[in-house]
Amino acid sequence: MFTSLTIAALVATASTVSATRLYVSSYTGNITTLNLTQTADTYKLIQLEATNGCAPNASWLQIDVKKRNLFCLDEGMIGPNGSLTSFKINNDTTGSLKLVKHASIPAAPVNSAIYTGPNGTQLMAVAHYTTALTTYKLDSTTATFTPFETFNFTMPKPGPLAERQAKPHPHQVVIDPTNKYMVVPDLGADLLRVFYIDPQTLRLSERSSIAVKPGSGPRHGVFHLGRRIGNQKGEMSYYLLNEIGSTVVGFKVAYRPDNGGLVLTQFQETRAYGNATGSVASGNAPAEIAIAQVKGRGSQLIVSNRNATFFTSVKNPDPANSTTIVSDSMATFSLPADKNGSFEFSQLTPAGGLYPRHFRLNRRGNLMAVGLQLSGWVAVYRRCTDTGRIDQDPVACFGGLGGVSSLVWDEPDILAGYL
C-alpha cells in the first residue's frame, strides 16, 4: 500500500492538516476507511479502519451523511443471494462503523438510491443485476431496514449481444429532480424502466419503459436541469452512459400529464472516450457518469472508461516504484450554460490504473476519488472548479484494497453549507 504516515503522526500534526474520510468497498468483502489529509499542497491517504461486515462481495456503498448511516450491498457472487448491511457511523476520530443489521436479499444487488417522503420517511431502492428491483423502508435514526416492494423483470427474447443480454440486467437506480420518478437502466433489455413514486406512501407504480438503441447496454444515467438564461427557463436533460455501445447519449426530458411517465427525446450521441483513437477503443466499457459544476460556465459530464488503456506510460502511484504503468481513462464533456444541454468533448485523462469501476467528487468539486477495480487501489485527483480540468497525475493513492467496487466521501463538517 502506498503510504507511510501513521495515525499517530496524523494526530501529532493535526494543527496543520485538514482531513476528510472515504469509505471504500471491495469485492474481497471489506469496507476500508481511508483518511485523506492535506498539508499545504501535499495530500496523503492512510487507512483508519477496515471491516468485513459486508462480505463476501461488497459491491456498492450508500451514505446518509446527515443521519450518519452507511449501507452496503453484497453482490453475493459465490451464493444464491446477495445481502444488505447497515452501519452507524460513530462520532469518533476514525469514523468507525457499528454494524446494525445484516440481511439476505435477492441476488446480485449492484446499485441503490435513497428517496424521501412525508415527514422525512426514507426508502431505499436497489437494482439487482439478476432481473429485479427491490425497495426497503429505512429507519434513519437506527439504520434498520425492512423489505417493502419487489419487482421482477422479464424480456421476450435475448438482445443483440446474447452473451450479455440474455435476460434483464437492471444496473442503477436514479431519482429525477422532481422526486416523482425513478429510472432504472436495464443493460440486458436495452430499456430505461420508469416508475412513478407515490408522494404519500412512496410505493412505486411502473410506467411505460423507454427503449434505447438495440445493443446499447444502458448502465448508468444522470439528470441535469439547465440554467435559466434571461426569461428562458432551463430545460431538463438526461444523460445516459451505455456500457456495451460505449456511448454517451443526451435526451430532453418531458413529463406526461397526470403522472403518466416520462418522454425522453434523444438529441445527441457521442463516444464515451471522446476523440481518442486506437485499437484499444474497441474494448472500452464505460462504467460511471456524473455531473459537476464549473464556476461561471455551466457544468460538465465526467465519465469513467474501463478496459481501454489509452494511456501507456503513466506515473506509478507508488512513490517507491519508478516503473510507469498503463491506465484506463476519465473523459470530460463540457455543458456550456448557453447550449441548453448540448455537450462537447473537452478532456481525456488517466484514471490512475485499470478498470475505474466507480468515482465520486467531493462536495466542493475540487477532488475526484477513483476506485480502480483491477489495480486494487484508490486514486485521488485535483479538479479545477473554474475550468473543470482534471490533473494528469493523482495527488494521493492507496493500494492493497482488492477489487475496488465503490466509494463514498464522508464530509459532515461541510454538510450545512451544501444542503
Q: Residue 3: what pLDDT?
A: 54
CA distance 257 to 264: 14
State how far the alpha carbon of 201 is from the alpha carbons of 123, 139, 183, 254, 368, in Å: 10, 15, 18, 24, 36
State how far the alpha carbon of 39 is from the alpha carbons of 17, 92, 313, in Å: 5, 22, 28
How many CA atoms are closer than 13 Å to the CA of 278, on its beta-carbon side? 13
Q: Give me the mean pLDDT over the 68-97 stretch.
A: 96
Express each pLDDT in 86-106 by its tens digit: 999 999 999 999 999 999 999
Confidence band, pLDDT 50/70/90 cuts, at residue 229: low
Give ∠ CA 50-405-73 in degrees, rounded to 5.
75
Answer whether residue 16 shows pLDDT above 90: no
Sign of CA dihedral 152, 154, 158, 161: negative
Express each pLDDT in 39-56 by its tens digit: 988 999 999 999 999 999
Answer whether residue 11 shows pLDDT above 50: no
Of 175, 177, 119, 128, the residue nearest 153 (C-alpha): 128
The residue type of 275 is N
Backbone angles phi, psi at 119, to 5 degrees: 60, 25
Picking from 62-66, 163-167, 338-342, 385-389, which range would have the lowest pLDDT averaged per residue? 338-342
Grid cell of 275 as nine digits: 476523440
Q: Residue 4: what pLDDT?
A: 36
CA distance 379 to 359: 9
Backbone angles phi, psi at 136, to 5 degrees: -140, 135
Side-by-side strand order, sheet with 82-89: 58-64, 69-74, 82-89, 97-105
The residue type of 418 is Y
Confidence band, pLDDT 50/70/90 cuts, at residue 8: very low
Sign of CA dihedral 159, 359, 52, 415: negative
State how far the alpha carbon of 316 is from the alpha carbons of 104, 351, 383, in Å: 40, 12, 20
**Residue 43 C-alpha from the chain's centroid:** 23
**Residue 386 C-alpha from the chain's centroid:** 23
Q: What is the largest CA-CA distance in the chain?
A: 63
Q: Residue 59: what pLDDT?
A: 98
Q: What is the mean pLDDT of the chain?
A: 92
CA distance 339 to 332: 16
The residue type of 33 is T
Sign of CA dihedral 93, 95, 96, 101: positive
Grid cell of 404 as nine digits: 475496488
Express each pLDDT in 362-389 by its tens digit: 999 999 999 999 999 999 999 999 999 9
Q: Residue 41: what pLDDT?
A: 86
Answer whether residue 7 shows pLDDT above 60: no
Answer whether residue 63 shows pLDDT above 80: yes
Residue 316 is classified by DSSP as -
How many CA atoms are closer than 13 Å to the CA of 250, on its beta-carbon side? 24
Provide the 10 A C-beta neighbour count for residue 417. 9
What is the residue whose three cell numbers read 459486508? 54
Provide the 10 A C-beta neighbour count for residue 234. 14
